[in-house]
Structure 1
Amino acid sequence: MSLFWRIFGLNAVVLGAATVLLLWAPITVSVPILVTEAVILLGGLSVMLVANAALLRIGLTPLGRLARLMTTIDLLRPGQRLTVRGHGDVAELIRTFNAMLDRLEAERAASSARALSAQEAERRRIARELHDEVGQSLTAVLLELGRAADQAPDPLRTELHQAQEVTRDSLDEVRRIARRLRPGVLEDLGLVSALTALATDFATHTGLRVRHRFEAGLPPMTPETELVVYRVAQEGLTNIARHAEAEHAELRLRRGDGGVVLSLRDDGRGLGIIREGAGIRGMRERALFVGATLEIAHEPERGTQLVLTAPAVEERKP
C-alpha cells in the first residue's frame, strides 16, 4: 500500500467510525445549539483528532527515523542502516536510502585509500629530501664550523662552538622529523619495535611518561594495517602531548577477536563532549582504509581512551 492510500485509509477509518457513532447515537442538534450538544460535538471532534493523530504517527514513524538518521549519519562510522519492514513507498524509500549509503561508503573508502596512499608517498619523499639534502647540508656546515673553530682565536672559537651546538641540535631535529615522516624502523624491525621507539621518542621530547605493554605472539598483519596502527598511535600520542595536559600515558598492543587491538589511555583532563577535529577524523579515515574500527571515549578529568581494532591476515591452511 502506498503512503497516499495508507494515510487516506487511516482518515477513512476515523471518519467512518465517527459517522457510525453519530448514526447510532440519539444525538440531535438544535438551533440555536444547546450547551450539552456543543460539549458532545466538541468531545467527538477531540476524539477524532486524537485518533487521527495517533494513526498518522504510527504510519509516519519510519519517515521520522529516516530523517533522524539523515541528520546524524557519518560516513566515517560505516554500518548505520535502517531496518526495512514490509512493502510500499516508505519501505522502498528506506531501502533506496540504505543502498545509497552503501555506495557512498564504498566511494569514501576508495577515495580515502587513494588520498592516504598519496599522503604516505609524499611523506616518504619529504623525509628522503630532509635526510639526503637538508641533513647532508647541515652535516657539511657542522664540519666546516669544527674546522673553523680549530683555527680561530679563543674569543671567536667559543662563538663557533656555540654555533656548532646549534647546528648539531638542528640536525638532530631534522633527523627526528624525517623518522616521524617515514618510520624506517617499522619496515626494518616490525611494528612492536617501531611502537617502542615511538613511545621512547615521545617520552624523551615531551616529558610525557609513556608506559608500553606489547603482547607477544601477535597475529600477522598486512604492511598497510601495520602502518595504520603506527600512525594512529603516533597521532594519539601527539594529541595527548598537545591537548590532554596529561602526565602519564599507557600504550598497549594485544591480540583481539580476529585481529590486533591497540589501546592508548592518558590521565589528562579529558574533553567532555567529543568534538572531533582533523586529527581524530584522520585516524578514522585510516582505520576505514584497512577495515579497522576506532573508538574514542572522553571523560572529564579522567582522561581519554583510544581503542583501535585492526584485522589480521587470515592464515591459509595447507
Structure 2
Amino acid sequence: MSSIYRKLVVYFLLLNLFAIGSVGVYSYYKEKEALLSRTFDQLISVRMEKKTRIIGFFRQRISDMENISRLPQVRKIMSEVATSGKGFLSRKNKSPLDQYHKYLFDYLKDAGCYTRLLLLDDATRAYSLDLRSPFEKYQILQPAEIKALQNFRLAHENKKKAFVKEVVFNPERDHPVLLIGKNIFDKSGHFLEMLALEIRPAAINAIMFENNPDNPLSNTVEVYLVGNDDLMRSNSRFLKNSVFKTKVKTPGVFRALKGITGQAQFKDYRNIPVLSAYSPLNFSGIHWAILAEIDAKEAMIPIYSIRDNIIYLSLLIALISAAVITFLSRKFSDPIKKLKAETTKIAAGEYGNTLEVETKDEIGELTRSFNEMSVRLKVQADKLESEKKLRLRSVIDAQEEERQRLSRELHDGLGPLLLTGKMKLESALNTKKEAMKATMGEVMKLFSDTVQEIRNISNNMMPSGLKEFGLSIALQNLCKEVMDNHPIKIHLVLDLKQNHYAKTTEIYLFRIVQEAINNTLKHAGARHIQLSLEEIESHLFFTLRDDGRGFDADSPPPHKGNGLINMKERVNLLNGYFELTTSPGKGTKIDIEIPI
C-alpha cells in the first residue's frame, strides 16, 4: 500500500514537472518564434538590399544607354554603318571616326557589364560589336538573331526611352540574354536605328554574391533570382553553372512570380528545408523573382542551444525541487505516520498515549485532537472496565444472594418440615394402631405444607404465572404480593396488546420491574408507587414513579446495592433505553423503552 509520503512526493513532483515543462515549452516556442521573426527580418533586409542594387544596376545601364545614344559621334558611327553596309566591315579603318570607335569600345568594355553592342537599322540589317574581342570585330548577325532583335524593337516600337528585356536569339539552342535597347529617331520622329547592349550574366552574379558588411551572409544563406520560366538567373552558392540550368519550383517562386511578397518555410530546389523571404522583381520588361534563403537547420542552431539550456536548467530545477519536495513531504508525513502508529496502538486497546505537538498548523491541531481523544478513551476505558467489574461483581453477588436466599428457604422452610415429618414417622413405629393413624394424619399435613413450600420457592425463582398467563398477570400478581406483605400502595396501569412477548423480553422486563420495586422498598422509604407499562408502535414503555426520599443522581448512590446496575444491564441486553430522574426529597422516576 502506498504511503501518504510517497503520494505527496509523486503528486508534488508531477505538479512541479508539469509547471517546469509548461514554462520550458512556452519559453522554447516563444524564443523560436522570436528567432524566426529575427531571421526573416534579416532575410527580408538582405533581399531588399539585393533587390535595390539590381534595380539600381538596371537604372545605371539604362543611363549608360541614354548617354551613349545622345553622343553625336555614336549617331555618325551608326549612320556610317547604315550607309556602308558590308563595306563597313571590310574597309580599312582610316575613317576620321576611328577614334570614336575606339572610345566607344573602351567605354563599354571598361564598364565590365556588357558582352556586345548591337546595331539594328531600318533596312533590317544588324551588326554586333563583341566587347570581349580586340577592336574592329564587327559581325553581321544571322537571320534568326535579326528577327529576334526586330521582335525586341517592335515590342517597344513607340518607346523613346531605353528599355530592358530578355531575348532568345535561337530558341532551339540558346538561353535568353538580357538586352537594354534604345530606339533612335530623327527630328521628325521617324525611326532610324536601334542601339542595344547585351548585359553579361556575371555582372548580375557579382551583385548577388557581393557581401554587404551590414548584412553578412552565413554559410547557408543565399540570394538568387528566378525567371518566369522557373530557371535561375543568378548562380547558386551550392550548385555550379546553375544559371538557366537549375529549375526552381518552390512555393516562394510561385508566389513571387504571382506578384506576392512574403516569407515562409519550405524545401528549396535542393529539397532541403529553408526559411525564405521572397518578392517579385519587376523592372521595365523584366519579371523575375528574388529570394533570400537560409537552411532551417542553421537558422535553428541558436534555438537548439536555447532548447538544450532549457532542458538542462529544467532538470536542475527538477532535482532541486525533488529534494525540497522530499524534505517537505517527509516533514508533513512524519507526524501523520506517528498518528497512524498511535492509532494502531489505540485499536489494540492501548489508550492514554500522547504525541508532542510540533507545529501550529492543521497537523498540530490534529495532534492535539488525537491527544484529547486518547486521554478520553483512556478515561472511558477505565470507566468501562470499572463498570465491567461492577457488573461481574453484581452478577456474582446476585448469584450468591440467590443461593443464600434459597439456602435460607430450604433451611428455614423445608428443613424443619422434613425433620418434623421424620420424627413423627419414627415415633409412629412405637405407637399403637390408633395413635399411628393420628400420627400419619399429621405427617400427611406436613407433606402438604412441604409441597406448598417447594412451590413458593419455585415461584420465587421463576414465577409460574409469567409462563402460563403472560406478563400482564405476572405483574399484577407481583404488585398484589408486595402490597400484601409491605405497607405500600402500588398503582399499576397496563396497556398491552399481546398476552405474550419474546421469552427473554418477558423475563428481563419482569425482573426489571421486580428490581425497581425492591429498590423502592429497601431505599426510598416511599408510601406510593405508580407503575405503567404500555405498548406503542412496536415498543414497550415502562415508567416507575415513587414519592420517596430520592438522591443526587450525579453522586454515587447512598447504598451499595447492584439494583440499578442490574436494571441498566438488562435494558442494554434488550437494546433498550434507560433514564433515571431523581433529586433529594423529590422522589425517583425511571423511564425504560424496549423494542419488541
Tell me the TM-score normalised to structure 1 length: 0.50
The answer for the alignment partner of 2:516 in structure 1 is: 236
Letter in 1 for 2:590: L
The answer for the alignment partner of 1:282 in structure 2 is: 566
Equivalent pair of 1:264/1:307 in contact (CA under 8 Å): yes
The answer for the alignment partner of 1:305 in structure 2 is: 589
- Answering whether residue 555 of structure 2 is matched by residue 271 of structure 1, we say no
What does residue range 199-278 of structure 1 map to in structure 2 within 5 Å? 199-217=479-497, 221-256=501-536, 258-273=538-553, 275-276=556-557, 277=560, 278=562
Stretch deviating more after TM superposition (113-122 or 277-286):
113-122
Letter in 2 for 1:91: S
The answer for the alignment partner of 1:6 in structure 2 is: none
Letter in 1 for 2:475: L
Equivalent pair of 1:297/1:306 in contact (CA under 8 Å): yes
- Answering whether residue 370 of structure 2 is matched by residue 92 of structure 1, we say yes
Equivalent pair of 1:139/1:171 in contact (CA under 8 Å): no
Letter in 2 for 1:217: K
Equivalent pair of 1:123/1:181 in contact (CA under 8 Å): no
Q: 1:281 to 1:129 in 2, by over 3 A?
A: closer
| Superposed displacement of residue 233, structure 1 | 0.8
Query: Between Structure 1 and Structure 2, which shows a larger proportion of helix residues?
Result: 1
The answer for the alignment partner of 1:193 in structure 2 is: 473
Letter in 1 for 2:570: R
Say how many residue pairs are matched: 217
The answer for the alignment partner of 2:459 in structure 1 is: 179
Q: Which has the higher contact order (CA 8 A, sep 6+)?
A: 1
Q: CA RMSD in A?
A: 4.9
Equivalent pair of 1:109/1:288 in contact (CA under 8 Å): no
Alignment partners' CA distance in 1, 2:507 and 2:383: 22
Q: 1:247 to 1:174 in 2, by over 3 A?
A: farther
Alignment partners' CA distance in 1, 2:382 and 2:465: 36
SS at match of 2:497: coil
Q: Structure 1, unaligned stretches of length 5 or more?
A: 1-84, 313-318
- Answering whether residue 574 of structure 2 is matched by residue 294 of structure 1, we say no
| Superposed displacement of residue 217, structure 1 | 0.7
**Per-residue CA distance 1:67-86 (angstroms, 9 max, x = gap):** xxxxxxxxxxxxxxxxxx99
Equivalent pair of 1:127/1:177 in contact (CA under 8 Å): no
| Superposed displacement of residue 112, structure 1 | 9.5
Q: 1:101 to 1:217 in 2, by over 3 A?
A: farther
| Superposed displacement of residue 208, structure 1 | 1.8
Aligned residues with identical type, % of pairs: 20
Query: Between Structure 1 and Structure 2, which shows a larger proportion of strand residues?
Result: 2
Q: 1:247 to 1:223 in 2, by over 3 A?
A: same
Q: 1:131 to 1:247 in 2, by over 3 A?
A: closer
Tell me the TM-score normalised to structure 2 length: 0.29
Letter in 1 for 2:479: A
Equivalent pair of 2:472/2:499 in contact (CA under 8 Å): no
Letter in 2 for 1:189: F
Alignment partners' CA distance in 1, 2:369 and 2:486: 55
| Superposed displacement of residue 99, structure 1 | 7.3
Q: 1:250 to 1:291 in 2, by over 3 A?
A: same
Letter in 2 for 1:232: I
Equivalent pair of 2:520/2:546 in contact (CA under 8 Å): yes
The answer for the alignment partner of 2:304 in structure 1 is: none
The answer for the alignment partner of 2:270 in structure 1 is: none
Q: 1:177 to 1:100 in 2, by over 3 A?
A: farther
Letter in 1 for 2:575: G
Alignment partners' CA distance in 2, 1:268 and 1:199: 18
Equivalent pair of 1:127/1:178 in contact (CA under 8 Å): no
SS at match of 2:504: helix
Q: 1:113 to 1:185 in 2, by over 3 A?
A: farther
Q: Structure 2, unaligned stretches of length 5 or more?
A: 1-361, 429-433
